[in-house]
Structure 1
Amino acid sequence: MKNYICIRLGNDKSYPIHVAVGDINNDNKVDIVTANTSANNIGVFMGFGYRIFSSMTPYTTGNQSLPIYVVLANFNHDPYLDVVVASTSSDTVGIFLGYGDGTFANITTYSTGISSQTQVIAISDFNNGNRSDIVVANYGSNGIRIFVGHENKIFLKYQSCSTGYGSRPRSAAVRYFNHNDWIDLAAANSGYDNVDIIVQTC
């Protein structure tokens, strides 16, 4: 017996490729955000409970940006979730700051490097600064880039780490691997058929 609902995005050519869920407006109901690759936007569906959702509200990620991955996190220390999106064609990560009522500010983008073809985003506090930092797997440039969160809701600094020529990292995950006080990360390298563990020591 099937027990599911189908939510229309309003565009048969939107090509949603990734989805994130969370409580965007703090009403204790689950909301949905999609990365709509062909439509070059993210779509926000507000949850009303009982598996009922609003129609999609789109937020543009830029012309021909090709967004492929979305994450909900808090980047400005207010009580509301924000959205970060990876766009593989424009070589950027973009942040939509949430207002807490289900709406978002326009996107602020940060370059992931020329021809980086960003794939996947992970969120953690890499420098123990009590801020959300962003790690991206860059398939095209064979590396990982970490954007360090700043108190003014912007990312002034980044750190890059090569995974090797032709490694083609497709995804990244964060975890403590060596039981110290610094978060580490793992990268899945499709070109090398391996996983890199990148350990922080300080």
Structure 2
Amino acid sequence: PRAVIVDDFNGDGIPDLAVANEQSNNVAILLGRGDGSFLEPQFFGVGIHPASLSRGDFNGDGLPDLAVPNYDSHSITVLINDKP
């Protein structure tokens, strides 16, 4: 893993994790169970070598979205959160 952000990505009030995985070129979202453990990760493909994570509400819906700069592909992937 290259970077980690903690936020409530599914709106249940429990902290979740977003993890940038540099070697596998993806971002994993791990939803928190509320007891310190997490559900199995959901993986989202991004560019080559995601270097970090930034969170923001990029589409104005009140949910945290992610921006992922990809070092070797010279690009930024925006992951829009569609969880209610």
TM band (smaller chain): over 0.9
Deviation at 1:68, TM superposition (A): 1.2
Match of 1:111 in 2: 45
Structure 2: segments with no counterpart, 5+ residues = none
d(CA) in 2 for partners of 1:148 and 1:107? 17
Question: Which residue type is aligned with residue 102 of structure 1?
Answer: G
Match of 1:137 among 50, 58, 69: 69
SS in 1 for 2:58: coil
Match of 2:14 among 80, 90, 111: 80
d(CA) in 2 for partners of 1:127 and 1:85? 21
Deviations 1:86-135 (A, max 9, x none): 0011000001000111110011100003xx11010011100101111010
Moved beyond 4 Å, runs of 4+? none
CA RMSD across the alignment: 0.9
Deviation at 1:151, TM superposition (A): 2.4
Greater relative contact order (CA < 8 Å, ≥ 6 in sequence): 2
Match of 1:100 in 2: 34
Structure 1: segments with no counterpart, 5+ residues = 1-66, 153-202
Question: Which residue type is aligned with residue 19 of structure 2?
Answer: V
Question: Which residue type is aligned with residue 39 of structure 2?
Answer: A
d(CA) in 1 for partners of 2:81 and 2:74? 23
In the TM superposition, 1:1-202 aligns within 5 A as 67-113=1-47, 116-151=48-83
Deviation at 1:141, TM superposition (A): 0.5
Deviation at 1:85, TM superposition (A): 0.3
- TM-score, normalised via structure 2 length: 0.95
Larger Rg computed on CA atoms: 1
Deviation at 1:77, TM superposition (A): 0.4
Identity, in percent, stands at 32
Task: Considering fraction of residues, name the structure with more strand.
Answer: 1
